Amino acid sequence: MNVLILGGTGEARQLAAALHGRPGYAVTSSLAGRVAIPLLPDGEVRFGGFGSVGGLVAWLREHRTDVVVDATHPFAAQMTAHAVAATAAVELPLLVLRRDGWTAGPGDRWHRVPDAAAAAEVLPDLGERVFLTTGGGGLGGYAALDRLWFLLRAVDPPSPPLPRRCHVLLDRGPFTLEAERALLDEHRIDVVVTRDSGGALTAAKLVAAHELGLPVVLLDRPPAPTAPTVTTVADAMRWCAQALGPGSG
């Protein structure tokens, strides 16, 4: 069974590692090619966009794909929409593997907002020194907040326009609680802005913010796709085994 995993996440790499070499599976992972030095999954890997829905349809046909697992980041909404449309067009099964979002606990001071524009609106009331970890794009909405200072953390250099007063920190998780505490302390952060990515690898900043009593502005996920969805790699494995047929588990 030819499996295409749309990747770029830890879960996608775990799924590729789990399926790679199993009898009956030929796995190809697809990476957008944005990150300069990507973490590579086991098995075949292809890089770069497909060329919208039409390009993905052509790729699926050419490579005789049997099933597609969209294990992209919860905020990679365009790739997910293309996967839904392309698999519908060629009548292939699609599974979405998407980790759960984060849930606030007692004492958390979270402000959920729908997007960056809404985050920029609430920020001035919450503090002056902002730790912004929402990825390297879409930062223009914060550019007009001249009174605030930003610590921007991203994997690759963020694209302008950037806030006027900012320091860019290039780093990739996982981040430890100790390191996140030290970072908030060193930069005298008042408020954290992040996306509801979910998962353990980048959750330490939320714990550190909680410990310090800092408010967190949390950008909501894009709407969930209309496709069968699981939240764990184990469930994705079970779905693939079912798709492969009896006796394959």
Residue ranges in 81-110 that form contacts with ligand NAP under rule CB under 6 A: 82
Residues 6+ apart with CB under 8 A from 42: 13, 16, 17, 20, 21, 27
Q: Is there a contact between 210 and 108 (Cβ–Cβ < 8 Å)?
A: yes
| CB 225 to ligand NAP: min, Å | 11
Residue ranges in 24-63 that form contacts with ligand NAP under rule CB under 6 A: 30-32, 34, 49-52, 55-56
Compute how many residues bind ligand NAP; rule: CB under 6 A: 23
Question: What value, to the nearest 5°, has the Cα angle with vertex 189 and ends 137 and 154?
Answer: 25
| CB 229 to ligand NAP: min, Å | 15
Residue ranges in 123-162 that form contacts with ligand NAP under rule CB under 6 A: 135
Decide if residue 7 touches ligand NAP (CB under 6 A). Answer: yes
Measured CA to CA, the distance from residue 175 to residue 152 in angstroms comes to 15
Measured CA to CA, the distance from residue 240 to residue 25 in angstroms comes to 9
Cβ neighbours around 112 below 10 Å, total: 14
Stretch that binds ligand NAP, among 18-26, 75-83, 112-120, 184-192 (CB under 6 A): 75-83
Please report, as ranges, the residues that interact with ligand NAP according to CB under 6 A: 6-9, 30-32, 34, 49-52, 55-56, 72-73, 75-79, 82, 135
